[in-house]
Structure 1
Amino acid sequence: MFALVTFVPKPGAPDHARVMCYPTPDGDAMLTYLSPFDAWIEAAYSSKPGKPYRVIDASTFDPREMVSDLGGRLNVGLHLGWAAFDGKLLAKPSGELVGYMALQTLAVAPADMEDIEFTLNAENRKSVDNFHEKAGLFAYSESLEASTNWGEHRLDQEVALAMQNVPATCKASYADINQIAVYDLEGKQWHFVALADLGDKTPS
């Protein structure tokens, strides 16, 4: 899995980084992505002057601060797709797209703090498979696997093409979400799945 970080240097810790999170009732959830492609889209829309986000392998991030704050737990938000309304991607007033995620909580023992394995639980694996099946992307896992080998130049190209192919965006509210969108890396087009066909997940 992949995550987004931005550097927040501290005295004596010039490499200190902050991971992108989403607030939940049970504490902040570290956002993760199945492929660097969706993480790259998030980074492109969320980066600001002086606060660029970069994509990393989630397992390389040191989450001990978050785990300590949550008493030995790590909340993880798994990006499933992009929130949409009637064939249009939802956009925040800032222009950022609205992600759609599934939540899971990992129990992290002190001895495992530096070796956390980010894997899907059975429920979220089923949600991911179901979502892509309803989108007609039956070979999605092969496409995601291939994208993990792309360099920055290829990712920049693919994200630029994907955003050119977006039918439209709209500044609707969360209450208006009625679809979840996913980009087909092979067919180079967006697919929209009715929210009613999916379980209750969380917009981010």
Structure 2
Amino acid sequence: MRTKAFNHDEIVDAAMQVFWQLGYSATSIQDLVDATGLSRSSLYNAFENKHGLYAQALRRYHELTARNITLLQEPGPVKELVRRLLMRIVNDELDGSAQRGCLAANAALELAGPDDRITELLAGNFLRLEKALEQALLRGQAEGEIASQKNPRALARFIVNTIQGLRVLSKGSARHQRRQRLLDVLDITLDAL
């Protein structure tokens, strides 16, 4: 049996960058061939089709966003951890070099809903962040930092929604207004805690 002559993770990473930049629909098989260096037949043999490669790219993105979960598990005041997470998102959006937004948010806007496979992958990604936020908020309640009458699960969902909203708002904001608009949302979100 022949072993694969390419590194699977490197191929998925290269494809993820293309999907992230162009979106699913605008990405052609030729774009993926060019980015990965694989032939069409190798791509189809390894990933079945473009959709299969896209699903792998979303799984890889899920791995890359684990740093947000790690941040929420750090010691310290929970409100400060949430602020740092939101500032990470704001700074990502203000970085003029990328302008890609969040791959998960992009996928949700483009394919989720009618595409059950993509919806399931995205739901897992969002749920993981929601659970990490809920655990942090519960810790904040136990330490008296977050009011005990507030529903930590609902707050976690609100923050996940805020993060995705920041991504979308950034894409739809004029450059000269973007920073202040994102910071306004961040401040109101922290006030809700």
- TM-score normalised by length of structure 1: 0.32
In terms of fraction of residues, the more helix-rich structure is 2
In terms of fraction of residues, the more strand-rich structure is 1
Largest Rg, 1 or 2: 2
- TM-score normalised by length of structure 2: 0.33
